[in-house]
Structure 1
């Protein structure tokens, strides 16, 4: 019996998934990045392409949640102290970029024949870059934590804040609108302050205890639900007072950046963020009216070249003037020259307030979309120029690729063993990230001054969020052999070049770790037994040179037994060969017997 009807949006979902499955791999294979693939897929299936889907505006309203979740994840990567250190980039560099670029584009728009109010909206709308687009490029290249990546993010964050006064500007410029009274302005400021305070207080004092309680229940789906609730709830509070939803989610993320649940939250949110971000770019691509572009191709081409040229020049110049190297300034210039998603919001508000006609708004939207489409090509072009310069033997070129090394150590398991390992590493100045799945152990470690995060080592997404892909070495200090084995397999599969050092519990565990190809393993009981035995012999008056000889013999026979067991592929008691290893080496009769180790 046939079904009566498909669920809502069922056919549209199939079309969306099929288009992205085809377009994104092709775009990445061509070196253009996934964003171009999403845009191309949207243009192909949209109302101006094959007409498989309707208007992209309805999809865009849902897909904007992807931007919200993206800013929440970015906020998790920034603690308040780090954000404070970025204040010059946010309020200095970011403000200067918006003002200088906006005024320059306003002057050009006036020369192009636009009215004063229309030119103001167009100029400052095109001055905004795409937070979603630029951060996606930075994340794909692994450059969010680089110096230029942080400066680019500071500019983007200021632009997200700038949408609020720009929307107010549209309301002021709207024909027939009178100025707001002092009481209205005061009420608005009070409402915004209350919303910000609510998000800060909730994130500071309530969320961590709630997640601590949920973690004790070991219910992953509840943790996932809570993560989404925090991100979307904070966004909703900000939206209710007229601020950017993305800004609210970012603020909540920053407040949770020092929480021990930071990496688990990031791993739980990531699949939803990726899917919704893909949907966002598809919706943007669907909005591209190809016929309008072709009919006004000279205007659109001039607009695209002007926007990318003017923004690129100011981004480079302001970055250089505020301390960036030429290399970093060029990277910022080719990462942020596109128009942004908030331009769509500003232009829509301007149409509603009769500041822009529908035709002009569509042309401006087309310019924004095409600048997005060309940004990956600009990044690719910079990389190729840098590569050719290096091939020609140019020493210390002022243009470099986006690649950057950032070695760290990931400590998995933060009991007594892991804590000592961390103490040794940090004493030498190495940066570590530590995860554990026991809230009580995490709380104790934090009291001792260590930053340890809640995380399940058997989840590939948690390992990636904790930095397994960036780590030069992963220290496995877990007590559970099965959990360690699964974590090793995940790291070997996802990050094959990472060094893996392991804590082994016994001889059987050593054999298992050797089969898995770890780079180093140590039996904690064996080593402590050797030290214990040395101390006992020394207390009994044995000469130190004799103690060294005995230790060397014990280690020799232990290693030979392990070699025989590995060769035979057996367990702890493989054959008679293992029991008789000690007799192969001529030595005093009293030392021929095997030491009973473990």
Structure 2
């Protein structure tokens, strides 16, 4: 019965707030506050539901991790441990000082309150970045770097609270150093499990084509990683994120992402419902002005400090103001840390309830702040193109994935024969640029099977991959070939190495970009040397024949050094000279036949 009440009221309020343009999160929060124990009392157990619903954050971080390969995460290390660390430390100390000076809390209590208030809401910020396609933009990476460091900072914050504790020591509780060691140990375990257990398991499942097992493995990965971290009393979301990063290079990550996404949406909705339920309406009613002033002060202080920090790191004012607004709310992990501070006898339970209400109200303010940001053109969404889903595209005979310099020429040739084409690209900047030239490009990762299905891949005659991505290999292409047997799959590869890497994928046609452009340059060079056009044709035909022969030898032996004799070399080569002479005789014989035909009339 409680479940029906929760879902019914949530549906009503989400529809209302969506209609008003205020977003679904605010609808969930208000619905939870109304039906919760501090509202109408229709549903109880807000704390237990909140603990369960935190899995939604774990699922969210897992999906974010799937989009960040270890190499890319390493490239972001300066932003994570630079901007992220400075933000947490500076904001926490400023808030600590203000709480001590204005509210009269002791230094230890002020620190136990100020540090958690420095955290922002991962559950609010990341879904917005993902849905708008900004998670991989420079702006999105900065926001994510700060949020990721905040998740990492939970461990030292718990350690600080434990060190300041006035409660009798619990001999069973691990020390701060032990928690840090356990966290590093757990990360190593997750890395090894992802590489040597989960990835091989996914390859086996992919070979048998059991789609429902992708769901099982995805859920198992998230829940197992979260459970491991929970057993060590650290962030479950961090464990799920590490698990996602370890699967980011898997050819089946797109299948896992599409299968896990519905669970993430449901659990995140439940999380915000639970946050609304634990809001102590009585504390707000008892001292409404104090709660409102504290919530407004929290947002104002975090906005100011974040803006200054981002600006000092050399970012433009627009990005600094946008990030300041985006991350100015309190975070969901504040509830956990406030409860621990109360257990440590650093603050009274009433203070924990008061500041939990402050955090909740600051989270409620986030949709309004984003509206204000858009009106001032400070928010990143204002200068972003409209990123339409390929599901909205009219069905075409061909799908071109990657609309860069290569894909544009391919698409023009298809348009030249009146072939209907659906264009897909995952770079918002490229989509925006194309829109200026009246070209509609749809947003998405064309290597995702579910996205290709939404784009009409099952009805298309051609699916052409024109991306500038030398990392795509047979593991990435083979599932696509198997998923769309009625379409011819064509692919642009960068060079010979990538062509060897996709061997066995079943792709119907491959064009080596470097090879074709090099031949064009070589022919231009020969033309400027004054070489006879017929001789140029012979050289080109010979080169292509030698290259095909050499490539087949490399494919057969799996070795780039195979077939070394099948190429032109300084001073000539026996194999190359022999093939060239065959083409010359063939051309001369054909010319003799044509001449004889002309003489005979």
Deviation at 1:211, TM superposition (A): 0.3
SS of the residue 1:402 aligns to: helix
Distance 1:423 1:216, change over 3 A: farther
Q: Distance in 2 between matches of 1:462 and 1:230?
A: 31
Segments of 5+ residues of structure 1 without an aligned counterpart are 1-10, 387-397, 411-416, 434-450, 464-470, 486-502, 506-535, 545-598
Q: Deviations over 1:324-375 (max 9, x none)?
A: 2211111111111011111000001111121121211111001000000111
- Tell me the residue number matched to 1:351: 342
- Tell me the residue number matched to 2:117: 126
One of 17, 26, 44 as aligned partner of 1:27: 17
Q: Does 1:282 align with 2:273?
A: yes
- Tell me the residue number matched to 1:206: 197
Q: Runs ≥4 in structure 1, deviation > 4 angstroms?
A: 176-181, 183-190, 398-401, 406-410, 417-428, 430-433, 451-454, 456-463, 477-485, 536-544
Distance 1:73 1:480, change over 3 A: closer
Deviation at 1:191, TM superposition (A): 3.4
Q: Does 1:46 align with 2:31?
A: no
Deviation at 1:407, TM superposition (A): 8.6
Segments of 5+ residues of structure 2 without an aligned counterpart are 391-398, 411-422, 427-444, 458-464, 468-476, 489-506, 510-585, 595-601
Q: Deviations over 1:170-204 (max 9, x none)?
A: 111111556999x9666555433332211111112
Distance 1:307 1:483, change over 3 A: farther
- Tell me the residue number matched to 1:404: 384
One of 333, 338, 341 as aligned partner of 2:329: 338
Q: Distance in 1 between matches of 2:589 and 2:61?
A: 62
One of 367, 374, 377 as aligned partner of 1:383: 374
Q: Deviations over 1:79-131 (max 9, x none)?
A: 11211111121111111111111111111111121122211111111111111
One of 79, 83, 87 as aligned partner of 1:89: 79
Distance 1:366 1:418, change over 3 A: closer
Task: Give the RMSD, CA atoms, in angstroms.
Answer: 4.1
Q: Deviations over 1:403-455 (max 9, x none)?
A: 42499999xxxxxx999999954999x9967xxxxxxxxxxxxxxxxx99573
Query: Does the CA-based 8 Å contact 2:92-2:114 persist in structure 1?
Result: yes
Deviation at 1:400, TM superposition (A): 6.4
**Aligned 1:428-447 pairs, distance under 5 A:** none
Deviation at 1:206, TM superposition (A): 2.3
Q: How many residues matched?
A: 444
Query: Does the CA-based 8 Å contact 1:138-1:144 persist in structure 2?
Result: yes
TM-score with structure 1 length normalisation? Answer: 0.66
Distance 1:279 1:462, change over 3 A: farther
Deviation at 1:298, TM superposition (A): 2.0
Q: Distance in 2 between matches of 1:221 and 1:295?
A: 51
Deviation at 1:318, TM superposition (A): 0.8
Query: Does the CA-based 8 Å contact 2:179-2:233 persist in structure 1?
Result: no
- Tell me the residue number matched to 2:558: none
Q: Distance in 1 between matches of 2:187 and 2:255?
A: 25
Query: Does the CA-based 8 Å contact 2:26-2:367 persist in structure 1?
Result: yes
- Tell me the residue number matched to 1:77: 67
Query: Does the CA-based 8 Å contact 1:260-1:453 persist in structure 2?
Result: no
- Tell me the residue number matched to 2:47: 57
Q: Deviations over 1:551-585 (max 9, x none)?
A: xxxxxxxxxxxxxxxxxxxxxxxxxxxxxxxxxxx
Q: Distance in 1 between matches of 2:199 and 2:453?
A: 22
- Tell me the residue number matched to 1:455: 449
